Chains A and B, each alone.
Chain A
Amino acid sequence: MSLPQFKLLRPRTVEEAVSLLAKQNASEGLRATRIVAGGTDLIPSMQQKLFEPQHVLDIRRISQLQGIRQTEEGTEIGALTTLTEVEHSDLLQKNYPVLTEAARTVASPILRNMGTIGGNICLDTRCLWYNQSLTWRKSCGFCIKKDGDLCHVAPGGTKCWAAFSADTPAALLCLNAEIEIASSAGFRRTPLREFYTGLGDSYRKLAPNELLMRVILPRSSAGYRGVYRKLRIRGSIDYPLAGVAVALSRSNGNVSEARIALTAVNPAPVLVKGASELLAGKIVDEELAEAIGDLAARTAKPLTTSALTPEYRREMIRVFTKRAVLAVASG
């Protein structure tokens, strides 16, 4: 499969990058500039003609976007930091273990060498009816997300249900992470949980002229115990079919603060509403863990976007959440 033809832009600074984005994107529409870092999401998608940009902006040379740093307010991870670096960071392992664990489950070791934390946060939503070649999509009449106007997983509907299928954002949501975004107009900060729209097609709030710069982990969630559980068929390579991240802090054996987030079962990674309240101040036992599991399962709204059935994936959210809660509490 050949790639569409495009011009490659290789800025060395964020300023250069955002000014290129501002310049190129004004009139390109369907062929708007795409940003490439590790390439593991964009390149296969371009082979499938899911994107046919006029320009591709390669940000790998922007050193400002690299590395993990401790700051006043917590820890900053540059958008270009590879998932391998996240996985092996002692600093993150010590303070934010749920993130290193989630990073460790992403795809395969080689793909983690390439894929970045920024790319994982921005990962395009996935669906069996969407992540296919042009010829394939043609034969099913395309879909809402690309080139068509119908949805194959929720017939009659006008909403796209493609599943958000990255691992680390679930962990980041549990850690109350914020992200910093640059554009030619300046910089903006937003909590990660407000970054996603919950719609499969326009799944994130990132304007065509914007660039994700870094993710910030607040000091307040440092030291949270955490566990990430991922449903997949193979022990490697696979995207998550369901994912659960649990992070909590304890005092005197009781949970003081807790957050649970799900991924791969909705068009956005989501925090399980009510879980924090249910857990706060309690000692975790089997029954409580089960209740949290049920709550998580009600939050999950998987559809037939991937190999396993929605019923099974929702069921596994329940089982995995219960197990994860017990594991964190007993750890």
Chain B
Amino acid sequence: MKKELIELQINGRSYELAIEPSKLLLDTLRQDLQLTGSKRGCDDSSCGACTVLEDGIPMLSCTMLAASCEGQEITTIEGVSEHGSLAAIQKAYGDWGGAQCGFCTPGFIMTVKHLLAENPEPTEDEIRNALSGNLCRCTGYSQMYQAIKAAIDAEQKGSAAVSAAR
């Protein structure tokens, strides 16, 4: 099939790409843009390793046509780090054992990022529910809850420090 020209907004940048209309967003990210942080873990839209944000909402990039994303703002894991440093949630996942093999981690980070944007102080039940579309095979999820709580604390301390400085 002939390639077509599309324009995608990814991590705040605009990319013009020639792709086949049948190309998935995940493959476009990984193959055309070398943004390999989003992973493919399944073929039946069940694992969540490819989760990205579309206009801030978690979606499976393996289940979206790239061409259908024209006009939306896509955020991938590569867009989460801030000024070359880990965001609080990324740091906390490392410190608290939220990532072991790390393959599912980018997907989880995207989901958690959205969760905390919607609900800055979630209960453990809310966290469990929010994470239930991402599968992890290493951690049994427990240490992720600690990481998320630590990230919330860090964010709050961070913002407290900022306001104290003012």
Contacts and interface: CB of A to CB of B under 8 A. Distances in A.
Interface of A: 1, 3-8, 10, 36, 38-40, 43-44, 47-48, 56, 58, 60-61, 84, 107-111, 113-114, 131, 133, 235-237
Interface of B: 1, 4, 20-24, 43-46, 48, 51, 57-60, 62-65, 67-68, 70-71, 111, 129-130, 132-135
A236 B132 contact: yes
Given A44-B44, A58-B68, A110 B111 contact: yes
Contact of A3 (B24, B59, B60): B24
Nearest to B42: A44
Contact of B1 (A6, A39, A43, A107): A6
Given A43-B24, A236-B133, A113 B65 contact: no
Contacts of B63: 38-40, 43-44, 114
Contacts of A110: 48, 51, 58-60, 111, 133-134
A171 B21 CA distance: 36
A8 B24 CA distance: 12
Nearest to B1: A5
B21 A6 contact: yes
Q: Which 6 A-B pairs have the closest CB atoms?
A: A108-B133, A236-B132, A110-B133, A8-B21, A5-B1, A3-B22
A293 B33 CA distance: 55
Contacts of B111: 109-110
Nearest to B132: A236
B142 to A, nearest CB: 16
Contacts of A131: 44
Given A10-B68, A39-B64, A237 B46 contact: yes
A114 B132 CA distance: 15
Contacts of B57: 84, 113
Nearest to B72: A60
Given A7-B1, A47-B43, A237-B133, A114 B20 contact: no
A52 to B, nearest CB: 10
A6 B65 CA distance: 11
Contacts of B46: 237
B65 A36 contact: yes
A3 B44 CA distance: 13
A47 B51 CA distance: 18
Given A7-B1, A109-B133, 17 more contacts: A3-B24, A7-B21, A8-B21, A8-B65, A10-B70, A38-B63, A39-B63, A40-B63, A43-B63, A44-B63, A48-B43, A56-B22, A58-B65, A110-B134, A111-B133, A113-B59, A237-B46
